[in-house]
Structure 1
Amino acid sequence: MTRKRIKGLAYVCLIGIIILISRLAQIQLIDTEHFSKENINLLEASVRQRTKQVVIDNGRGKFYDKHGTPLTTEPRSVLILFPFLKEMDWNVEKVAEVIGYSPEQLLEQIKEAKDPVVFHDNGPVVLKDWQVEQINSLEIPGVFAVTKQFERPHQFASQLIGITGENAIELKNRYPDQNYSDQTVMGITGLEKSFDPFLIQDEQTKLVYHVDGRGGPLFGLDVKYIHPSNPFYPIKIITTLDFHIQKQLEIIADHYEMEKGGIVLLDIESNSIIANVSRPKIDEQAPYKNGGLINYMLKPQFPGSIFKTVIAAISIDYKRNSPSRTFDCSKTIHGEVDEVFDHGILTFRDSFAVSCNQTFATMAEEIAAIDPHLIESYAERFGLIDQVGWEGDVFHFQDFSQLADEERGQIFLSDTERTDPRLVRLVGIGQLNVKLTPLSVANMMASIARGGELYSVRAVSSIEYQNGTNFFSFPMDRGKRAVSPYTAEKLRQLLREVVVNPKGTARALQDLPYEVAGKTGTAETGKFVADREEQLVNKWFAGFFPFTDPKYALVVVQLDAKKETTSPISITKDIVNFLYAYDHN
C-alpha cells in the first residue's frame, strides 16, 4: 500500500513538472507575443521592465495646416536629465549657467526621479539653438538637449482631426497582415482614423538606457539615442485648415458660449475646409462624455428655412417665380392667420428675404405635383443627400474617404411624405424629416457662389514625406453642375436680398466690410427645455462673401438652442469682421 502511494505521488509530481515545463515553454517560447486573453506581448513587457526611456517622437505621422504650422504637436527644444545623475559628479554648474537657472533647481528635479525628466518651470523650459549646441558639446552622460514633440495644450479643430488610442484587438482586426506592437497608437475618430494607414507609427525616436533590479544603470552610463533609419517617415498630413483662422473662430464660438453646434468655413475657389468648429468641446479626461467627440458639422441636422434655397432653385427652373406673382404672407403654411409673422402680400423675391413659410410651402406643393421626386432630385444635385467629402483612389486604397465620420442627409422617408400635400408643405420649409449636414449646406452655398458648379470638399490637400517631398496630392474634384449659371445668379441675388432688404432676416449683416449674402433658418427639433414648454430649435446662418468676388462660404449653427441663445447673425458678424482684417493685414 505504501509503495502504491509513493508511486501515485511520483505520478502526480511528474504531471506537475510536465505542466510547469509546458507553462514555461508557453511563456518563453510559444506565446511570447500573444500571452493570455489580453494578447500581452511578453517580449515587449520584458524590455520595458529592463529599460528607462524618454520618447522624443512617438513615430506617428502628424497634421499641419496649409502654411505648415503643426496642429496636434509642437516641437520644442528641451533639456532632459536622467535619474542616475544624482549618483554621480557632473558639471551641473555649467549646465545651469547655460540655461539660466541655479544648480539647485536642476538637482531638485532629479532628486526623487526614477525616470528621465524634462526640465520644467511651470511647463517645459524651451531652449534656444545656441543653448542646445552648448549643452550637447559638454558631452555629459545623462544630460541631453533635444527637440521633443509635445502635444498642444489646447487642441484646435479637435473633432475634425480626431483622437488616437491603444486597442490591441482592433489593431489586429484593422491590420491583420502587420506585426504591430500592442502599444501602437491608432486613429479612433476624424482624420486620425481616415488617414491611419498612412499615419500609423513605425519606430519611436527615444533616449534609452538599461537598468538593473534597483533601477541603476546596467551597462554603465551608456544612454542610446534610437532614431528611425527611414528618413521618409513619419508622414506629414497637410490639411487645408488655416491655424490662425481656426483658432480665432473657436475663440468667437467660446465668447458667445456656444454649447452645441459649430462653424464651418470653406474656401470657395478650392472648396476646402479652412476651419471646422464643433461644440461641445472634447473633454480630455473623458473624451466620450457629452458628445464631445462628435463633429456636428458632419452630422445631419434639421435645417428649417435654409432648405428654402433648394425650393427657390426649383421654382426658378420651373418658372414658378414670376415677378408679378404674389403670396399671402400673413398666413401660416396651412392657410390660418399667422399670429407671429404678418408680412402681408409679398412677391417671390421679398418672400425669400423675409423667409415667408406660406410662399415656400405653396411652392413645394406645386413642385411635388409636377414630380414627387423633384425636390429630392435637386437636393441631391446640391450634394445635400450624399457625402460631400473628398473620395477617390489613393494608391491601393479604393474609394478612400477623407471624412470617415461624415453622414448622409435625408429629405423624405416614405412615398407618403412625397405625395401628401400637407407633409410636402412641411418639407418645403425644411421641417418634417429633412436633415442636412452643416458641411453640405456650406458646400451648397459655395456652389451657388461659383455659378452652380458643385465640387467635393477637401480637408487635406496632400501627404508629404518627412523630408518634404510629395507622397500624394488630393486633386480638386470639380464634380458636376448643380444648377445652371442663370439659376445660380438668380439664387445669388435672392441670398443678397436677405441681407439688403429692409425686412430681410439677415439685415444686421448689411454694414460689414465684406458684402454678405446668405439665408437664415430656425428649425423645430421636437426637443423641449426641461420643466418648460419651450421647444428647443436649431438656429442657422448659411451664406458666402464677398458678394461680388466670393471667397468664403460659411455656416454657423446653434443646435438644440433655447430662445435666448445668441443668434448666429451675431457670431457671423464677428467672423466676417475678423476675416476682413485678417485678409487686409
Structure 2
Amino acid sequence: MRLIRNRRITYGWLILTVLIAILTLRLAWVQLVMKHQRLPGSRHTMVEASLIQRERGIILDSGRGHFTDRNGKPLTGNLIWAAVLFPVSEKELNNSHRQLAELARILGTNVDDLMQRWGRIKEPMLWHGENSRIPRSLSKDQIEKIKQLDLPKLKVLPYEQRYGDRLSGMQWLGFVSGQRKESLFFHHRAEVTGTSGLEKTMDALIRGEGPTVVYFPVDSTNEVIQDIKPVVQAPDNPYYPLRVTTTIDIDIQTGIEELTERAGMKEGAVVVLDTRNADIVAMVSRPFYNPEHIVPSEGQWESRGLKAVTPGSIFKLVTAAAILENGLSTPEEHFHCDGQYGKFGLSCWKKGGHGTVSLREGFAESCNVVFATLAERLSAGQLSNTASALGFGQTVGWRSQQFLGLRSFAPLDHEEKGTVFSGSVDASDAGVRVQTGIGQRDAAISPLQAANAIVTLLHGGVKTKPRIMKQVRYANGQLLQDTDSLVEFASGGSISQETSSILLEWMEQVVQDGTGSASLKNRKWSLAGKSGTAQVQNKGRARNNQWFIGYGPVEKPRYAAAVLVENRSPDSSHQAAEIFGQLFDFLASVETDSGSA
C-alpha cells in the first residue's frame, strides 16, 4: 500500500511539473512571438491592445473624404502642424517659467495668459491662436524652436484642418457637426456627420473608415507616461476615404466673393454657369458663413443661390417666350404706354410712360404696360408651361435615381422649386395673370434657375441640369464614378430654337439701348441680359429685390450668370446690374490670364 501511495505522489509531481513546463513555454511563446503578431480582426498586437486599455487619444484627422475644385485644388483638408498642450501641475509650470516665456513669444501670446490657460486644462488641448476657433498652424521655424525648449508636456503633431476659420460664400459646401476633433481626449471613435450642403448630401459616401488617432499611454491618474512612445492608429485601406471633384473653380469663386465684398453687397447671391455644359463654376451667397462657427438661427449657412424669391421683370422672359411660342404677338407689334395700365392698380416703372414702342423695344425697356397687356392674352396653362420649359417651378440641379448605392441622390442641398401660381389663387383671373406676368404676386425663382434658363436659351431651348459634382475618386486617385455633363431635362416641354434666338437677340438690345446700357454697355466683353426689380416686404418695410441675368461674351458665349441683390431700398441704384458688369470684367480677365480668350 505504501508503495502504491508513493507512486501516486510521484505521478502527481510529474504531472504538475509537466503543466508548469507547458505554462512556461506558453508564456515564453507569448512574450517572444505572439506579442508581435496582430490579434484576429484587429490592427493591434497583443501588447498594443493591452496598452490601449490605458491610453487616451487625440484625433488628428477625422478620416472623412475631401472635396476639390474642378482643377484639383482642395476645398477641404489642409495639413498643418499644431502644438498640443498636455495637463501640467502648477509646480511644473512655475519651474518652467523661462521656457514658457520663450514659448509664449514663439506662439505670439502673453506668458501669463499661456500659463493660465495651460494650468486649467484637464485633457490635452490643441493650441488656438488669439480669438481663433481652430488650431494655429506652426511654421518650420516655430516647430524647430519649440522642440529646442524640451518641454515634456508639449508636443507638435500633424493636424487636418477641414475648412479654416474664415467667412465664405460657399454655403453649397456646407459644414459638419457632431464630436469635433479639437480638444478631444477620448476612448471611442468620434462621429462627425455632414449637416448641410455637399457635406450632408454626400455624407454616406465620404465618411471613410475611421479617424487617424495618436494614442498616449496614461497611468491610473490619467497622467501621460512620458517614457513610452505614443502610437498612431490610422485606416490602411488604400481606396478610402473617397475624394469628390466638384465643378467649382475656386479661383473664380473666391474672386467673386471679394468682388461682392468691395461692392458692399449685403444680401443675395451670384451664380455663374459654364455655357457649354451648365456646370456650376461659382455660387456665392451673402451674407457669408463660417463653417467653423454655425449659428443655425441666423441662417447664414443657407445658400441663397438655391432659394426662390420674387423675380420681378426677369420673369418677362417667360411671358415673352409664351407669347412668341403661342403666336399671340410678333416682335414688331406696337403698344402705347402712358405710365398707367388703367386696371388692377398697375403702373409702369417709368413715370409718364414709354410712349409707343414695339414688343422688341418694350422688352429692352422692361415696360410693365406692354407685358401686362401680353399677360392678359395668355392662359394660366400657357404661362405655366412656358415657365416649366425654361426650368422654373421645379428643381433643376443634376440628380440621379441611383448613384453609388444612394437612391434619389441630389447633391444640391435644399434646392427650392419656386412657384409660378400659388395653389390658393384662381389663375384664370386676369389680374393674377397680369401680376404674375411681370414677375410679382406668387412668382418665385432661384438664381440657379435664372442662370440655367439663360443656358437653356443658348442651347436652342434644350433644358439642362446644372451639376456641382463632377466625379468621385478613390483615395489612390483611381476613378470610381463620373457624372454626365450637359444632361437634358426631359420633362416640361421645351422652347423652340426660333424663340430662343429672338430672346437672346432682345437681351443684347437690353444692354445696347435698354435698362442695362448705363452699367453694361462699355465692358471688356460685349454682354446681353435682362434686368429686374421686384417689390417685396421685409419686416413691414417696402424693399426691392434687384436682379440682372445674362451671358457673355455675345460673340462666343462662355458664361451665363444671375446676380440677385436682396432687400435694397426702393430709391437706391441698381446694384445688381453694376455687379453683373464687374463680374464679367473679372471673368474676362480670368480667361485672358488663362489664355482661353
TM-score of the two chains, using structure 1 as the length reference? 0.78
* Structure 2 residue matching 1:148: 3-state secondary structure: strand
Amino acid at match of 2:470: S
- Would you say the 8 A contact 1:529–1:562 is kept in 2? no
* Structure 2 residue matching 1:373: 3-state secondary structure: helix
Q: Distance in 2 between matches of 1:115 and 1:342?
A: 73
Amino acid at match of 2:270: I
Q: Which residue in 2 is equivalent to 1:40?
A: none
Decide which of 76, 101, 124 is 1:72's aligned counterpart.
76
Q: Are 1:346 and 2:353 matched, yes or no?
A: no
- Would you say the 8 A contact 2:75–2:163 is kept in 1? no
Decide which of 427, 437, 461 is 2:446's aligned counterpart.
437
Q: Which residue in 1 is equivalent to 2:488?
A: 478
CA 1:334–1:288 in 2, change beyond 3 Å: closer, same or farther? farther
Q: Which residue in 2 is equivalent to 1:385?
A: 393
Q: Which residue in 1 is equivalent to 2:568?
A: 561
Amino acid at match of 1:315: I
CA deviation digits over 1:504-539, x for unaligned, max 9? 344420111111111111111234665xxxx11211
CA deviation digits over 1:352-398, x for unaligned, max 9? 00000111111111121xxx311101111111111111111203222
Give 1:326-341 correspondences, 5 Å limit: 326-334=334-342, 340=351
Amino acid at match of 1:327: F
Query: Radius of gyration: which is bigger?
Result: 2
Q: Which residue in 1 is equivalent to 2:525?
A: 514
- Would you say the 8 A contact 1:540–1:558 is kept in 2? yes
Q: Which residue in 2 is equivalent to 1:34?
A: none
CA 1:375–1:188 in 2, change beyond 3 Å: closer, same or farther? same
Give the CA RMSD over aligned residues. Answer: 3.7
CA deviation digits over 1:10-60, x for unaligned, max 9? xxxxxxxxxxxxxxxxxxxxxxxxxxxxxxxxxxxxx99964433221111
Q: Distance in 2 between matches of 1:128 and 1:295?
A: 38
Decide which of 63, 66, 69 is 1:62's aligned counterpart.
66
What residue ranges of structure 1 are gaps of 5+ in the alignment? 1-46, 169-180
CA 1:357–1:49 in 2, change beyond 3 Å: closer, same or farther? farther
Amino acid at match of 2:372: A
Q: Are 1:206 and 2:217 matched, yes or no?
A: no
Q: Which residue in 1 is equivalent to 2:308?
A: 300
CA 1:48–1:161 in 2, change beyond 3 Å: closer, same or farther? farther
CA 1:341–1:266 in 2, change beyond 3 Å: closer, same or farther? farther
C-alpha deviation, 1:293, in angstroms: 2.1
* Structure 2 residue matching 1:274: 3-state secondary structure: strand
Q: Are 1:584 and 2:587 matched, yes or no?
A: no
CA 1:184–1:564 in 2, change beyond 3 Å: closer, same or farther? farther
Which stretch of the first structure deviates more once superposed, 305-314 or 71-80? 71-80
Which stretch of the first structure deviates more once superposed, 401-410 or 474-483? 474-483
Q: Are 1:358 and 2:369 matched, yes or no?
A: yes
CA 1:451–1:323 in 2, change beyond 3 Å: closer, same or farther? closer
Give 1:528-543 correspondences, 5 Å limit: 535-543=542-550
C-alpha deviation, 1:285, in angstroms: 4.3
CA 1:332–1:564 in 2, change beyond 3 Å: closer, same or farther? closer
Decide which of 416, 421, 425 is 2:434's aligned counterpart.
425
CA 1:506–1:306 in 2, change beyond 3 Å: closer, same or farther? farther
Amino acid at match of 1:322: T
Decide which of 358, 382, 391 is 1:374's aligned counterpart.
382
Paired positions, count: 509
Amino acid at match of 2:591: D
Q: Distance in 2 between matches of 1:436 and 1:217?
A: 59
- Would you say the 8 A contact 2:340–2:353 is kept in 1? no
Decide which of 466, 478, 481 is 1:469's aligned counterpart.
478
Q: Which residue in 1 is equivalent to 2:537?
A: 526
Amino acid at match of 1:449: L
Q: Distance in 1 between matches of 2:274 and 2:523?
A: 19
CA deviation digits over 1:430-467, x for unaligned, max 9? 11111111111111011112322211111111111111
C-alpha deviation, 1:325, in angstroms: 1.5
Q: Distance in 1 between matches of 2:439 and 2:52?
A: 58
TM-score of the two chains, using structure 2 as the length reference? 0.76
C-alpha deviation, 1:142, in angstroms: 7.5
* Structure 2 residue matching 1:188: 3-state secondary structure: strand
- Would you say the 8 A contact 1:329–1:358 is kept in 2? yes
CA 1:329–1:152 in 2, change beyond 3 Å: closer, same or farther? same
- Would you say the 8 A contact 1:278–1:295 is kept in 2? yes
- Would you say the 8 A contact 1:185–1:201 is kept in 2? no
Q: Distance in 2 between matches of 1:564 and 1:203?
A: 56
CA deviation digits over 1:67-122, x for unaligned, max 9? 22222332224565766899899xx99xx99xx999x99xx889747655657877
CA deviation digits over 1:520-569, x for unaligned, max 9? 11111234665xxxx11211111111112111111111122222555101
Which stretch of the first structure deviates more once superposed, 63-72 or 409-418? 409-418
Give 1:259-278 correspondences, 5 Å limit: 259-278=266-285
CA 1:547–1:141 in 2, change beyond 3 Å: closer, same or farther? same
Q: Distance in 1 between matches of 2:355 and 2:561?
A: 31
C-alpha deviation, 1:141, in angstroms: 11
- Would you say the 8 A contact 1:544–1:553 is kept in 2? yes
- Would you say the 8 A contact 1:506–1:519 is kept in 2? no
Q: Are 1:239 and 2:246 matched, yes or no?
A: yes
CA deviation digits over 1:182-241, x for unaligned, max 9? 841111111111111112243111211122243323584220111112122222121111
* Structure 2 residue matching 1:441: 3-state secondary structure: helix
Which stretch of the first structure deviates more once superposed, 146-155 or 249-258? 146-155
Which stretch of the first structure deviates more once superposed, 468-477 or 335-344? 335-344
Q: Which residue in 2 is equivalent to 1:149?
A: 161
CA 1:59–1:418 in 2, change beyond 3 Å: closer, same or farther? same
Q: Distance in 2 between matches of 1:111 and 1:159?
A: 35
Q: Distance in 1 between matches of 2:218 and 2:288?
A: 42
Q: Are 1:159 and 2:148 matched, yes or no?
A: no
CA 1:466–1:159 in 2, change beyond 3 Å: closer, same or farther? same
Amino acid at match of 2:265: M
Amino acid at match of 1:146: P
C-alpha deviation, 1:157, in angstroms: 3.8
Amino acid at match of 1:354: E
Q: Distance in 1 between matches of 2:406 and 2:533?
A: 41
Give 1:31-46 correspondences, 5 Å limit: none
Decide which of 279, 289, 302 is 1:282's aligned counterpart.
289
Q: Distance in 1 between matches of 2:245 and 2:489?
A: 22
Give 1:87-102 correspondences, 5 Å limit: none
Q: Distance in 2 between matches of 1:467 and 1:548?
A: 42
Q: Distance in 2 between matches of 1:101 and 1:298?
A: 42
CA 1:203–1:84 in 2, change beyond 3 Å: closer, same or farther? farther
* Structure 2 residue matching 1:234: 3-state secondary structure: coil
- Would you say the 8 A contact 2:416–2:446 is kept in 1? yes
Q: Distance in 1 between matches of 2:388 and 2:476?
A: 42
- Would you say the 8 A contact 1:78–1:127 is kept in 2? no
CA deviation digits over 1:466-494, x for unaligned, max 9? 11111211112133473222211111101
Q: Distance in 1 between matches of 2:449 and 2:233?
A: 46
- Would you say the 8 A contact 2:193–2:200 is kept in 1? yes
Amino acid at match of 1:153: D
* Structure 2 residue matching 1:297: 3-state secondary structure: coil
Q: Distance in 2 between matches of 1:234 and 1:249?
A: 31
Q: Which residue in 2 is equivalent to 1:494?
A: 506
Q: Which residue in 2 is equivalent to 1:401?
A: 410
